[in-house]
Amino acid sequence: MAQQISDRRDQDYVLHEMLDVSQLTNTEKYADFNKKTIDMVLTEARNLAVKEILPTQKSGDDEGVKLENGKVSVPPSFHRPYELFCAGEWVAMADDPEVGGQGLPHSVALACGELFTGANCAFMMYPGLTHGCGNIIATLGTPKQKELYLKKVYTGEWGGTMCLTEANAGSDVGALESIATPNADGTYNIVGNKIFISGGDSDMVDNVIHPVLARIEGAPAGTRGISLFIVPKLWVNDDGSIGEDNDVVITGVEHKMGIHGNATCSIAFGGKGKCKGTLIGEVNKGMKAMFLMMNEARQGVAMQGIGFATTSYINAVNYAKERLQGPNLMQMLEADPPKVAIINHPDVRRNLLIMKTYVDGMRAMLYFMGFCFDKVHTAKDDAEKDYYNGLIEIMTPVAKAYCTDKGFEVTSIGIQVYGGYGFIEEYPQAQLMRDCKITAIYEGTNGIQAMDLLGRKLGMKKGKPMMDLMGEINKAIAMGKEAGLNDLADKVAAALGKLGECAMTLGGAAMSEKVLDAFGSATLFQECCGDVVMAWMHLWRAAVAKGKIEGAKKKDKAFYEAQVIGAEFFISHMLPVSLGKMDSVKALTNSIMAMPVDGFSA
């Protein structure tokens, strides 16, 4: 059975029937992107993903990366698709064509990203981090830095990374020990060791550009004294040519549970005292600068969660339609009942429906966030821009955590649907689950996302982004009622009201002597937020579909009916579980912090 990725019909549904992204054609920025053009772009992305990238998923996992004589070799199968990926200007899909991009709407770029990550996430991490590096240069770089690096990075000719983590400074970035010493010519000598650097080196590119966090000698302790530097693997001369070795040495590659095709490197900067870099952004403002890349990366990691989930789901559906096992339950007492495809068995179908509703809801969630980016770029005034930026801010930690946690859950169910074969590496499901696990850990663990949501985002601008998000959900509730989906709309409204109560409870506790208890419930609250956002998306999906069922062609009718049934399943069968979680959040247990340290182990 050939492996597949994603559901093109559903991608089209979210982009065109829910979000109506073609409306962006009315703006100057996206005037060239009508529905026909968008569909052509998605078709080209799908062709590249299926024909060139997907075949590398297993071979990349089997071959892994190699470090020999200080040089990293990626799986040989990666080279051709990387060349094609760069030639198609996919690295900087949503960026200006003048610097190597396509200028796509962000929502459409996310749809393409789902296809690419679903085909092979380990492969996509190379251009993904490269783009994040380019985004820092584009946003904060001096004219000279942009001249030297930007187009080379955005076209994928050079790679890029994000160098934060050190052995004693993981989530606590402020504890880093890398040092920058100023030189007379305006450069800095960089000395330090970084670990867990995804895409840290590659034989697919001529050079690798490292944004490196380091502390200038004499700077304040903690994050207040961190600056950001551009440190190329090979020095780049003033005329743009590649110069001498810059004393950037790969000291190891990690052997990991998954994403074997991506080089996760340990890097020594300045071991011989000859590593140079240039400051990007302001002195001691490195964390603020790096967050430009981290926020993009967190949304990208959310897309990785969806990519793994959607591929696992499509595989499971196709397998369940073909795998014959056991009779239909209604024929069990017959003398010689025929075997049926396992999709006819109720529990298998339940598993598939859980997978489907998570995948469909998460896709709508992330495409909506992409559309918010598009609205920021086309806003008529600052008020509109602030509104959509606020939605992005409040939804980023929720999307990163929810899509990766539930993406992993979906890949686990995907193994279950295959049964024993799912546990065997001959089939793709096991690798998808192994690869997916890292998404809940890197770019800020999901626990850190929960702390960000409670500690920063809920109270941002006196709670306005959270209130605006609730306002968007209320719009869908009204749509649901107009479509005759009153019962579902009422259930979503009740869940939203209860979520608001949870936010008030935790917000108040976080400003009191119960602050630690509040943060002990932050992850559960974040999951509840994700559940309500999912319910919102499913109600929205169903409301749009409801009026299109009558008179639709047979295939479209089944699709539209599935939107209503999917919403009914999630809102009536799965959302009530979240209501119980909300009770737990409101109860604000003190047992988490009350448990003595010695009580955790004999």
Residues 171 and 128 placed together within one structural domain of the fold: no
Q: What was the pLDDT predicted at 437?
A: 98
Residue 432: inside a domain = no
**Per-residue tokens: 296:** 């993009």
Residue 224: inside a domain = yes
Q: What was the pLDDT predicted at 174?
A: 78
Query: What's the whole-model pTM score?
Result: 0.95
Number of separate domains in the chain: 3
List the one residue out of 484, 408, 467 whose CA is nearest residue 439. Answer: 408
Q: Are 248 and 233 in contact, with CB atoms under 8 Å apart? A: yes
Q: Which domain holds residue 246?
A: 159-287
Residues 24 and 124 placed together within one structural domain of the fold: yes
Q: What was the pLDDT predicted at 601?
A: 84
Residue 508: inside a domain = yes
Residues 85 and 181 placed together within one structural domain of the fold: no
Average pLDDT for runs of 10 along the chain of length 602? 80 98 95 96 97 97 95 97 97 92 95 97 96 93 96 97 87 86 96 96 97 93 92 97 97 97 97 97 88 76 97 97 93 88 97 98 97 96 97 96 98 98 96 98 94 95 97 98 98 98 96 96 98 98 96 93 98 98 96 94 75
Residue 333: inside a domain = no
Distance set, CA 308 to CA 42, 200, 344, 406 (Å) = 19, 23, 25, 10
Put residue 211 in one of left, alpha, beta given phi > 0 → left and psi -120 to 50 → alpha: beta
CATH number of the CATH domain containing 20? 1.10.540.10
Residue 407: inside a domain = no
585 Cβ contact list (under 8 Å, min separation 6): 502, 505, 506, 521, 524, 525, 528
**Per-residue tokens: 57:** 């998923």
Residues 147 and 165 placed together within one structural domain of the fold: no
Residues 115 and 148 placed together within one structural domain of the fold: yes
- Among 108, 136, 154, give the residue marking a domain's end: 154
- Among 139, 154, 169, give the residue marking a domain's end: 154
- Among 154, 171, 205, give the residue marking a domain's end: 154
Q: Are 428 and 3 in contact, with CB atoms under 8 Å apart? A: yes
CATH number of the CATH domain containing 164? 2.40.110.20
Q: What was the pLDDT predicted at 138?
A: 94
The whole-angstrom distance between residue 458's C-alpha and the CA centroid of its chain comes to: 21
Residue 410: inside a domain = no
Residues 234 and 282 placed together within one structural domain of the fold: yes
Q: What was the pLDDT predicted at 335?
A: 86
Q: What was the pLDDT predicted at 596?
A: 94
Q: Which of 254, 296, 443, 527 is catalytic?
A: 443
Q: What was the pLDDT predicted at 191?
A: 97
Residues 123 and 169 placed together within one structural domain of the fold: no
Residues 150 and 170 placed together within one structural domain of the fold: no
Residues 135 and 179 placed together within one structural domain of the fold: no
Amino acid at site 438: I
Catalytic, 244? Answer no
User: In which residue are the tokens 């399943």 written?
Assistant: 569
Residues 465 and 498 placed together within one structural domain of the fold: yes
Residue 335: inside a domain = no
Residue 299: inside a domain = no
Amino acid at site 158: W
Residues 136 and 235 placed together within one structural domain of the fold: no
Residues 133 and 176 placed together within one structural domain of the fold: no
H or E element, residue 501: helix 486-510
The whole-angstrom distance between residue 466's C-alpha and the CA centroid of its chain comes to: 21
